[in-house]
Structure 1
Amino acid sequence: MSACLASSAYALSVDWRLALEHAINRLQRIDGANLGLLYISDRFSPHAAQMIERLRAATGIEHWVGATGIGVLGTGEAEIDAPAVSLLTCRLPTDSFRVFSGRKPLPRDFASFGALVHGDPATPDMSELVQDMSSKVRGNCLCGGLASARHMPLHFADAALQGGLSGVAFDERIRLVTAVSQGCIALPGSWRVTASDENAIVELDGRPALKVFREAIGPALGADLQRAARNLRVGLRNEESGPTGFAVRPITDFDLRAGALSINEQVAEGQELVFVRQDANSAAEDFRRTLARLRQACPEPPVAGIYISCAGRGGALFDSDDSEVAMIAEVFDQLPLAGFFSAGEIASNRLYGLTGVLTLLF
Structure 2
Amino acid sequence: MTAADDFVFASGISDDEQTAEAIAEVIEALRDRLGEGAVDFVAIFATPHHRGSMDLIAERVQAELSPRIALGATAGGVLGSGFELESRPGLTMLAGRMPGAELRSFCHHDFDWPTVKDDPAALREALLGIEAPPSDADEQTRAVLMFADPFTTPMVKLMPALNAALPGIPIIGGMASAAVEPGDNRLIYNDNVFDQGAVGLAISGPVQVDCIVSQGCRPIGDPGLITKAHKNLIQEIGRKPALAAVEAVASEADESERELLQHGVFVGRVINEYKDHFGRGDFLIRNIIGADRNSGFIAISDFVRVGQTVQFHVRDTHTAEEDLRLLLQTQLLHDPAAGVLMCTCNGRGQNMFDKPNAESTIVREALGEVPIAGFFAAGEIGPIGTDNFVHGFTAALAIFRPAPGDIQS
TM-score normalised by the chain length of structure 1: 0.89
The residue aligned with 2:113 is none
The residue aligned with 1:26 is 29
**How far off its partner does 1:274 sit?**
0.9
| Superimposed CA distance per residue, residues 137-193 of structure 1 (whole angstroms, 9 cap, x where no aligned partner) | 476232111111124122222122243332111112121000110011112410111
2:352 counterpart of 1:301: no
Aligned-partner Cα distance in 1 for 2:106–2:144? 10
Deviates further, 139-148 or 325-334:
139-148
The residue aligned with 1:55 is 61
Give the 5 Å matches for 1:188-337.
188-218=221-251, 228=261, 230-238=263-271, 244-296=281-333, 298=334, 300-337=335-372
Aligned-partner Cα distance in 1 for 2:363–2:89? 22
Give 1:10's match in structure 2, choosing from 13, 16, 29. 13
| Superimposed CA distance per residue, residues 90-115 of structure 1 (whole angstroms, 9 cap, x where no aligned partner) | 11225621222133454515853322
CA contact (8 A) 2:38 2:65 kept: no
The residue aligned with 2:91 is 85
CA contact (8 A) 1:113 1:137 kept: no
Aligned-partner Cα distance in 2 for 1:47–1:32? 23
| Superimposed CA distance per residue, residues 208-258 of structure 1 (whole angstroms, 9 cap, x where no aligned partner) | 222222222345689x99973523211122469xx9322212222333333
The residue aligned with 1:154 is 186
Gap change, CA 1:134 and 1:198, over 3 Å in 2? closer
Aligned-partner Cα distance in 2 for 1:34–1:215? 54
The residue aligned with 2:122 is none
| Superimposed CA distance per residue, residues 44-92 of structure 1 (whole angstroms, 9 cap, x where no aligned partner) | 2221121110122222335311211111001211122221011111112
CA contact (8 A) 1:122 1:163 kept: yes
Gap change, CA 1:200 and 1:139, over 3 Å in 2? closer
The residue aligned with 1:119 is 148
The residue aligned with 1:142 is 171
Other structure's SS at 1:153 match: coil
The unaligned stretches of length 5 or more in structure 1 are none
Gap change, CA 1:330 and 1:107, over 3 Å in 2? closer
Supply the RMSD in Å over aligned alpha carbons: 2.7
Aligned-partner Cα distance in 2 for 1:244–1:198? 24
**How far off its partner does 1:321 sit?**
4.5
Aligned-partner Cα distance in 1 for 2:307–2:349? 35
Gap change, CA 1:9 and 1:173, over 3 Å in 2? same
Other structure's SS at 1:45 match: helix
Supply the AA of the counterpart residue of 2:367: F
Supply the AA of the counterpart residue of 1:155: L
Other structure's SS at 2:266 match: strand
Other structure's SS at 1:123 match: coil
CA contact (8 A) 1:69 1:149 kept: yes
Supply the AA of the counterpart residue of 2:152: T
Supply the AA of the counterpart residue of 1:103: H
CA contact (8 A) 1:12 1:84 kept: yes
The unaligned stretches of length 5 or more in structure 2 are 111-125, 131-138, 274-279, 402-409
Aligned-partner Cα distance in 2 for 1:174–1:284? 28
Give 1:353's match in structure 2, choosing from 371, 377, 392. 392
The residue aligned with 1:130 is 159
Aligned-partner Cα distance in 2 for 1:306–1:166? 15
Gap change, CA 1:232 and 1:295, over 3 Å in 2? farther
Gap change, CA 1:95 and 1:277, over 3 Å in 2? closer
TM-score normalised by the chain length of structure 2: 0.79
Other structure's SS at 1:357 match: strand
Aligned-partner Cα distance in 1 for 2:75–2:21? 18
Deviates further, 248-257 or 181-190:
248-257
Gap change, CA 1:107 and 1:236, over 3 Å in 2? closer
Gap change, CA 1:133 and 1:250, over 3 Å in 2? closer
Gap change, CA 1:220 and 1:61, over 3 Å in 2? closer
